[in-house]
Structure 1
């Protein structure tokens, strides 16, 4: 999903006239690979430290401890993470902006800390994962637009960057809701593992209702944004309504009454699809904002 997301965002950036970009095709490839490898390493280290909970939450899907032992999993983690960091280091030095390497270091470090410590605590882990997903959306515009900004093109570059900031906020919000839903879904295994996630602290029903409130806030924000910036482009308005706002409303109704794990899994899947579709329609929204 990260690969598709970042390629779509790069395509959307290329649609905008009168802006300057930084990365070559090879540079973009390095950026995507570095992001994917570090994220994959994060998944592996999370599975390593989540063995106890996963015996209940993912009994039939568990890999670490069954197909792969812990030692092999750690080797895979280090290989993925340090390869990603290496690509990030090469890329940022080729760009002559080595300070940007901090992003890759912070991402890898945050994913490790999340798996080792942070995910055990209510809401903090959810926020961290959501922030990292939001930043992964902003990453391509950050590397493409900011280094190419100067006094002569500052207004155009900043305007384009702010559009993608909005997309990053959308990704953050959808991910936060999905993380909360997944925590409700995994409440039994997390309880056995000694975690203090929000559903364990507040209860599953209260967390579900809290997630519904967050979803309604997101629907309100997206509706305002759509009718403020896209109103003259009817196709974009209709697309946002049917692809994002409508499905989010559906998630609200299902989440309000969800009690079974299968129902929560269904909502989680719909949210994942909403995120994917939302990213895929960015080129259409860019066209509406700039050329309607």
Structure 2
């Protein structure tokens, strides 16, 4: 056991990207990015990392089959250590949010509860778990907008929607990849009910919906330059959908690289959103 395992279990890159993304919500809401706003970055980083640690704690048996290299099944982090670590991170994240705005505090509390509920219960509920994860991803922008109160939160709804759809698609594809381990662990996911092929087609429709939504004039910086840039990210997302849409087995989904492509497309879209928000 060592520090590397505790760093690995929180998925630091994903947690940091989520933390930085919250500043986009702040910019869209028209709030000045002051040093205080970086408390929101720290809050999202801590809560996201805590959620990842809790998820690994609850999925330790499944990960022993699907992801034996992860910190808990590999022995890098103990079960007790993961539980204590996640609790500390949750409390730190909620405390940081409370220092910014009551609305941010409320979202931080709600999201923390949902992260624990997802890991402990909702992941095994077909589609419900996928929707919770997708909400949590989209809520990062709502969290940043909440720094300006309700008005700022509403301004960020379009961005939250653009993130929600491809994230749901990715979550469904990830379940399709892990169907053997999930079945062994007693989980019940959408691909186990509808089959891998039908799930991949549902994911493709959701990804296509995200592309359509991203092209509509619902973002504050919608113009020709935005459309040219977002089209590049959209092509990656559509490529992910196309690569897996005919897959009927878990192995096919894994070999297609669709989940990685979707992640790349989503990160590219996020980078474009941040760039356009910064330049106005």
Q: Is TM more than 0.5 here? A: yes
State the TM-score, normalizing by the size of structure 2.
0.83
Unaligned runs of 5+ in 1: 148-157
- 1:239 match: 229
Alignment of 1:82-231 (within 5 A): 82-89=91-98, 91-92=99-100, 95=101, 98=102, 100-143=104-147, 145-146=148-149, 158=151, 164-225=156-217, 230=222
SS in 1 for 2:245: helix
Residues 146/264 of structure 1: CA separation in 2 closer, same or farther (3 Å cut): same
The count of corresponding residues between Structure 1 and Structure 2 is 264
Residues 136/206 of structure 1: CA separation in 2 closer, same or farther (3 Å cut): same
- CA displacement, residues 256-285 of structure 1 (integer Å, 9 cap, x when unaligned): 133453743611111111111111111454
- CA displacement, residues 191-237 of structure 1 (integer Å, 9 cap, x when unaligned): 0111110011111111111111222222333334489983xx43322
Cα offset for 1:164?
2.8
Asked if the contact 1:181/1:211 (under 8 Å) is kept, the reply is yes
Asked if the contact 2:146/2:153 (under 8 Å) is kept, the reply is yes
- 1:34 match: 43
Unaligned runs of 5+ in 2: 1-13
| Alpha-carbon distance in structure 2 between the residues aligned to 1:68 and 1:8 | 28
Cα offset for 1:20?
5.4
Asked if the contact 1:187/1:199 (under 8 Å) is kept, the reply is yes
- CA displacement, residues 49-87 of structure 1 (integer Å, 9 cap, x when unaligned): 10111111112x221142112111112112211222222
- CA displacement, residues 127-150 of structure 1 (integer Å, 9 cap, x when unaligned): 01110110012211221x337xxx
- 2:6 match: none
Q: Which moved more, 1:69-78 or 1:217-226?
A: 217-226
Equivalent in 50, 66, 70 of residue 62 of structure 1: 70
Equivalent in 212, 230, 242 of residue 253 of structure 1: 242
SS in 1 for 2:72: coil
State the TM-score, normalizing by the size of structure 1.
0.80
Bigger radius of gyration = 1
Q: Which has the higher contact order (CA 8 A, sep 6+)?
A: 1
| Alpha-carbon distance in structure 1 between the residues aligned to 2:205 and 2:240 | 11
- 2:31 match: 21
| Alpha-carbon distance in structure 1 between the residues aligned to 2:32 and 2:226 | 29
- 2:57 match: 48
Asked if the contact 2:57/2:72 (under 8 Å) is kept, the reply is yes
